[in-house]
Amino acid sequence: MYVYLMKNEKPLNEELIKRHVEYLKSLKSQGKLVLCGPFTDYPGGMVIFLAENLEEATDIAKADPFILSGCKTFEIRTLEHANEENNYLLEV
């Protein structure tokens, strides 16, 4: 699982926001989107998604209209999902 953290660089407009939402819907229809949204305490947002590897994850982030437009920059992070099913990653 991967996360791209976005930081605002330039103002957004309604058309760009619509293209970003369509992109997120596309990721959802491919079964890749896990969670997304803007931060309320920081100028940016994040997308949590599934990808085969870091190269694919980077390509997915770069294809986001927010990133393509230069209105946002991004950083990729790899996320290991801790939950009850995997004992929150605790090896016992």
Determine the average pLDDT of the residues in 30-57: 96
Range of the domain at 29: 2-89
Distance CA 10, CA 62 (A): 16
Give the tens place of pLDDT for each residue, 55-90.
999 999 999 999 999 999 999 999 998 989 899 889
Distance CA 43, CA 9 (A): 9
Look at the block and give the residue holding tokens 């997915």. 60
The string of pLDDT tens digits covering residues 26-35 is: 999 999 999 9
d(C-alpha 61, C-alpha 68), whole Å: 9
Task: Report pLDDT for 92.
Answer: 67
Q: How many domains does the chain have?
A: 1
CATH at 55: 3.30.70.1060
- The residue length of the chain stands at 92
pLDDT of residue 44: 93
